[in-house]
Amino acid sequence: MALLIGDIAPDFEAETSEGHIHFYDHIDGKWAVLFSHPKNFTPVCTTELGYTAKLKPEFDRRGVVVVGLSVDELKNHEGWSRDIEETQGQKLNFPLIADHNREIASKYEMIHPNADTSLTVRSVYVIGPDKKIKLKIEYPASTGRNFDEVLRVIDSLQLTARHSVATPVNWKQGEDVIIASSLSDEQAKQKFPNGWTAPKPYIRIVPQPAS
């Protein structure tokens, strides 16, 4: 059965570049990003891993645990990590799972057999503190992801969790947000006592709440 937004993210144990982890213990009730990359020692993956490692302080600032996954063997990760540092100017600073038997990749549906029977696609899961899947994106192997977009989505997800707001098209940090339609006007008045602008009754716009 497909893993969908709102489902509980499967637990697992894994060997990683930073030792053995038990996923649920590792994320420990925090937000988490679990992402796959198709293969070590390949060009697009090298750029993605280096950039994600550079963004680590941004993930930390948001309280997000980052975990990468490939279906390569653990012994491969070390040499590749040196290449990432040499070519991207940043070494790995988060655990990279060595899922050589593809157990975790299968649980998380990261292998799309009609694309490639043995390598993963580029999957990203964002998992909430309640262990539920909040976001799922999938790119083909040939297209590097935009990890600034992953951070942008996390900002939106965290605002929704904290303030019952949604974010409009192309929203960025600091821009106006929309009161969630799950709140009645009465409930919205409690949360947003300064009111809102409403070009239509179902579009209630407020400044972004302070986090």
Q: Report 114-173 residues binding ligand BEZ (CB under 6 A).
A: 119, 141-142
Q: Give the nearer residue to ligand BEZ in terms of CB position, either 39 or 131.
A: 39
- 138 forms bridges with which residues in the sheet? 123
- Residues 67 and 36 sit within 8 Å (Cβ to Cβ): no
* DSSP classification of residue 123: E
Q: What is the dihedral of CA 124, 25, 62, 188, to 10 degrees?
A: 90
Among positions 9, 27, 45, 133, the unique one binding ligand BEZ when judged by CB under 6 A: 45
The least CB distance from residue 137 to ligand BEZ, in Å, is: 17
- Cα 167 to Cα 42: distance, rounded to the nearest angstrom: 35
The least CB distance from residue 133 to ligand BEZ, in Å, is: 24
The least CB distance from residue 26 to ligand BEZ, in Å, is: 25
Number of residues that bind ligand BEZ (CB under 6 A): 9
- Residue 43, interface with ligand BEZ (CB under 6 A)? yes
* Chain length of the chain: 211
- Cα 20 to Cα 107: distance, rounded to the nearest angstrom: 18
147-163 vs 43-54: helix crossing angle, rounded to 10: 40
- Cα 197 to Cα 109: distance, rounded to the nearest angstrom: 42
43-54 vs 74-88: helix crossing angle, rounded to 10: 70
Stretch that binds ligand BEZ, among 39-47, 72-80, 95-103, 202-210 (CB under 6 A): 39-47
Is 45 noted as a catalytic residue in this protein?
Answer: yes
Q: Report 61-120 residues binding ligand BEZ (CB under 6 A).
A: 119
Q: Give the nearer residue to ligand BEZ in terms of CB position, either 47 or 93.
A: 47
The least CB distance from residue 149 to ligand BEZ, in Å, is: 18
Which residues 6+ apart lie within 8 Å of 60 measured at CB?
none
Among positions 3, 21, 26, 39, the unique one binding ligand BEZ when judged by CB under 6 A: 39
Q: Give the nearer residue to ligand BEZ in terms of CB position, either 43 or 174.
A: 43
The residue from 45, 96, 124, 154 that is catalytic is 45
- Cα 122 to Cα 77: distance, rounded to the nearest angstrom: 17
Show which residues are catalytic. Answer: 45
Q: Which residue ranges make up the site for ligand BEZ (CB under 6 A)?
A: 38-39, 42-45, 119, 141-142
